[in-house]
Amino acid sequence: MQARQTLQPRRSVVLAESDSLEERLGVHPHRLGHVIDVLAPAEAVDAAPELAEVFVSAFGAPGYDEDRADAERFATEQLPVHAERDDFKLVAARSDGRIVGFAYGFTGQRGQWWPDRVAAVVPAELAEEWIGGHFEVVELAVAVGAQRQGLGTALMDALMTGLPHRKALLSTYVDDRPAPRLYQRMGWQLLVPDLGWGSALYGLDRTMPAAAGPGRVGA
């Protein structure tokens, strides 16, 4: 078990056209002026109402099926519980001071609901290799009006930078849409196309050159 993340000083990155990240990931330069902050767990919980607005915009858009009640549950139940987990990290993108996108995760362990649910349906060798001690990406969302400017990519980049984890996991939509395309572009590999409940499982082996994202373990 890794040590619980202590409150860390806020780190900001002002995205600029000259970012090497821009060149490395080939993302578009229209996100000038956006700022990405790493929020400490308590700051993330304080920001829950603002994050809920982003949640409902992103997951309540046509083609997605979450509503305001889901956003409320996210803000009042899910996030406070997850903020207590080991190595919780939330990154928020701001435009004119307002949060327009966020991503977060923590260290996933056996005995938690999602890792156990996944371990129960994937081949034993895959579970053995990937599940437990991984960094679990739980949410990524960008408000509709701020999408397609490279923010989702920049948020994932900021989330993964500096993590010590060798493996990372997430689940996303099985069909072809922005989220799975973004993960694939960033080096995530499809581990299980459908877990049985309409979600695909993706993994990032951060020890491999193919996962040459920022802060790659062993890089």
Beta carbon nearer to ligand COA, 68 or 181: 181
| Nearest-angstrom CA–CA distance, 122 and 128 | 10
Q: Least CB distance from residue 5 to ligand COA, whole Å?
A: 23
Residue whose CB is less far from ligand COA, 35 or 64: 64
Taking a C-beta distance cutoff of 8 angstroms, is the pair 113, 62 a contact? Answer: no
Task: Please say which residue, 58 or 90, places its beta carbon nearer to ligand COA.
Answer: 58
Q: Which residue is nearest to ligand COA (CB)?
A: 152
Cα–Cα distance for residue pair 107/62, rounded to 1 Å: 32
Of 178 and 214, CB closest to ligand COA: 178
- CA-to-CA distance for 201 and 74, rounded, in angstroms? 21
- Shortest distance (Å) from residue 183 CB to ligand COA: 8
In the complex, least distance from residue 32 CB atom to ligand COA, rounded to whole angstroms:
11
What is the contact surface with ligand COA in residues (CB under 6 A)? 27-28, 30, 58-59, 64, 140-142, 147-153, 172, 178-179, 181-182
Residue 3 CB, shortest distance to ligand COA, in Å, is: 28
List the strands of the sheet with 89-95, edge to edge.
Answer: 11-14, 35-39, 89-95, 98-108, 134-142, 167-173, 199-205, 189-192
CA angle, residues 199, 110, 176, in degrees to nearest 5 = 15
